[in-house]
């Protein structure tokens, strides 16, 4: 059990990649906090884990609201006594459609930044005091090939995911003295149970053809990197961005 008794907060774990991680990490012995905005999906994800005999709870969290993230950290420590891992997975993502740079409504731009970037900062600020006390912690952020490749029609999302990489490097420098590792994973297209206009079957096939390893990008192909970054095996890695993308492009 590689993550036995590690307390892992996963934001946005009510669906998609985060939900898959929650189930898999629980299977590796972790105690999972599903920190999700959507009450129904978040509670259902936690229930699914506990009904399989593993440990999880749901804490309703809006990562873009600082008080909500403070509550997330406090409730986690009340329930499980510590915070070992924070996986910053929540984002405004699957609900976004293509829009040119001059057609993105200002409130949509602001919401993407509030969740994808400010939310990351709030979640880190909320958990780091506990990790500093423990003199150990793992923070895993989530970026995207969209910014490496400069994906068109998605400017707010692309900008937010570029910011995640800079944020990771800067924060890693600030918290290393407490043995807190801050790393980032950057995915290319990942197929989940949520259908997206932005990643139809033609796009999926095109991406797979460019990869060295020609299997579809799916959460089961990513989770090994997450388990590694959450585990003690990655204790000397910080500030890095890892690209589990089947060799779609190189960094």
Catalytically annotated residue among 154, 157, 187, 199? 157
| Residue 83 interacts with ligand NAD (CB under 6 A): yes or no | no
Catalytic residue list contains 157: yes
Does 8 contact ligand NAD by CB under 6 A? no
Please say whether the beta carbons of 39 and 56 come within 8 A. Answer: no
Q: Does 89 bind ligand NAD (CB under 6 A)?
A: yes
Residue of this chain nearest to ligand NAD (CB atom): 16
Q: Whole-number minimum distance, CB 90 to ligand NAD, in Å?
A: 4
Computed over its alpha carbons, how large is the radius of gyration of the chain?
17
Residues 6+ apart with CB under 8 A from 224: 244
Q: What would the two tokens of residue 246 be?
A: 């089947």
**Among the candidate windows 32-40, 100-108, 147-155, 241-249, which touches ligand NAD by CB under 6 A?**
32-40
Residue 3 interacts with ligand NAD (CB under 6 A): yes or no: no
Between residue 54 and residue 73, which ones bind ligand NAD under the rule CB under 6 A?
A: 61-64
Please report, to the nearest 10 degrees, the dihedral formed by the alpha carbons of residues 147, 153, 154, 156 taken in order: 100
| Orientation angle between helical segments 106-113 and 155-175, nearest 10 degrees | 20
Q: Of 24 and 235, which has the nearer Cβ to ligand NAD?
A: 24
Structure tokens at 247: 């060799």
Let me know: does 139 contact 170? Beta carbons within 8 Å: no
Contact between 192 and ligand NAD per CB under 6 A: yes
Q: What does the alpha-carbon distance between residue 169 and residue 233 come to, in Å, rounded to a whole number?
A: 20
Closer by beta carbon to ligand NAD, 101 or else 194: 194
Q: Which residues bind ligand NAD (CB under 6 A)?
A: 11-12, 14-18, 36-38, 41, 61-64, 89-94, 115, 119, 142, 144, 187, 189-190, 192, 194, 199
Could you give the residue numbers annotated as active site?
Answer: 157
């Amino acid at each position: 059990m590689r993550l036995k008794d590690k307390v892992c907060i996963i934001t946005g774990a009510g669906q998609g990649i985060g939900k898959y991680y929650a189930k898999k990490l629980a299977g590796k012995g972790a105690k999972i906090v599903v920190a999700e905005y959507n009450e129904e999906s978040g509670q259902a994800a936690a229930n699914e884990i506990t009904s399989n005999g593993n440990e999880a709870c749901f804490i309703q969290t809006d990562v873009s609201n600082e008080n909500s993230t403070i509550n997330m950290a406090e409730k986690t420590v009340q329930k499980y006594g510590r915070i070992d891992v924070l996986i910053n997975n929540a984002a405004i993502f699957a609900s976004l459609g293509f829009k040119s740079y001059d057609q993105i409504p200002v409130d949509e731009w602001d919401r993407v930044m509030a969740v994808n970037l400010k939310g990351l900062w709030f979640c880190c600020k909320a958990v780091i005091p506990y990790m500093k006390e423990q003199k150990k912690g793992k923070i895993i952020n989530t970026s995207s090939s969209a910014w490496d490749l400069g994906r068109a029609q998605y400017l707010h999302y692309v900008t937010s995911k570029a910011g995640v990489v800079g944020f990771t490097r800067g924060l890693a420098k600030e918290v290393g003295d407490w043995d807190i590792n801050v790393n980032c994973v950057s995915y290319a297209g990942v197929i989940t149970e949520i259908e997206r206009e932005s990643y139809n079957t033609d796009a999926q096939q095109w991406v797979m053809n460019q990869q060295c390893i020609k299997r579809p990008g799916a959460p089961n192909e990513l989770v090994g990197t997450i388990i590694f970054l959450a585990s003690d095996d990655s204790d000397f890695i910080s500030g890095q961005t890892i690209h589990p993308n089947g060799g779609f492009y190189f960094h």
